[in-house]
Amino acid sequence: MSKEAFSPKILGFLCNWCCYAAADSAGVSRYQYPPNLRTIRIMCTGRLDPAFILRGFAEGAAGIFTGG
C-alpha cells in the first residue's frame, strides 16, 4: 500500500445501544468500509465529555466520529 495515499486516523465514540449495534449489524451484513476508524464503546453519547473530543484531536485524530 502506498504510504502517500490519504489515510486519516479517525476516532469514534459509539453508543452501546444504537451506533455500536449498527456497527455490529454492518459486520453481520458484511458491509465494507474504509479501515481508518478506531472505536471506543460508551453506554450512551450522553457520556461524551467535550474534553474527550479535544483530547482525541490532541492525540492526532484527523476526525472524530460520534454515533448515538
Partner 1 sequence: MVEAGRSPNIEIVSNADLLSLDGKPGNFTATVRVRPRYIDAEACTACGLCTKYCPRHMVDGYNEGLGITRPIHIDYPQAVPATYYIDPSACLFLQHGTCQICVPVCRSRAIDFSQQPTERKLAVGAVIMAPGFGRVPEAALTRYGYGQHPDVVTSIEFERLLNPSGPFKGEVRCISDQRHPHRIAFIQCVGSRDLGCDNGYCSSVCCMYALKEAMVAKEHDPECEITIYYMDMRTQGKDFDAARKRAEEHSGIRFVRAKVAAVTSWDQGLKLTYATMDGSHGFTGYDMVVLSVGLDAPTDAGKLAAIGGFALNRYDFCRTSTFAPLESSSPGVYVAGAFQGPKDIPESVTQAAAAAGIATGRLKTQRGTGVILKSYPTEKTADAEAPRIGVWICHCGINISGVVDVHKVTDYAGQMENVVYFNDSMYSCSQDAQETIKEKIKEHKLNRVVIAACSPRTHEPLFQETLKDAGLNRSLFEMVNIRDHCSWVHANEPEAATQKSMDLVRMGVAKARLIQPLPEQTVPVNKSALIIGGGVAGMTAALTLADQGFPCTIVERQDLLGGMLRQAHYNLPGDDVPGFLKNLVDKVKKNKLIDVLTNAALLATEGFVGNFASVVQETKGKKMVEHTIDHGVILVATGGRPHRPAKVLGVELPKSDRIVTQQELEAQLAGKAKNRAPGSVVMIQCAGSRGDDLAYCSKICCNEAVKNALKIKEINPASQVIVLYREMRTYGYAEDAYRQAREKGVLFVPYTMDNKPVLAAKGKGVKVSYHDPILREAVELAPELLVLSVGLVPESTDELSKLLKIPVNADKFFLEAHAKLRPVELPVAGIFLAGLAHAPKPLEEIIVQAQAAAAKAAMPLVRGKVEVEPIVSHVDQDTCIGCGICASLCPFQAIQMLKVDNKRKAETIAASCKACGICAAHCPTFAISMGGFTNEQINAQIQAFGAIDKE
Partner 2 sequence: MAKAQDKKTGAVMVVGGGVAGVQTALDLTELGFYVYLVEKSAAIGGAMAQLDKTFPTNDCAL
Residues that bind partner 2 (CB under 8 A): 17-18, 21-22, 25
Give kind and range of the element (H or E) at residue 11.
strand 10-15
Give kind and range of the element (H or E) at residue 10.
strand 10-15
CA 15, 52, 59, 57 dihedral sign is positive
Q: In whole angstroms, how close is the CB of 39 to partner 2 at the nearest point?
A: 17
If one asks whether residue 62 binds partner 1 (CB under 8 A), the answer comes out as no
Residues binding partner 1 (CB under 8 A): 1, 9, 11, 16, 20-21, 23-24, 26-33, 35, 38-44, 46-49, 52, 55-56, 58-61
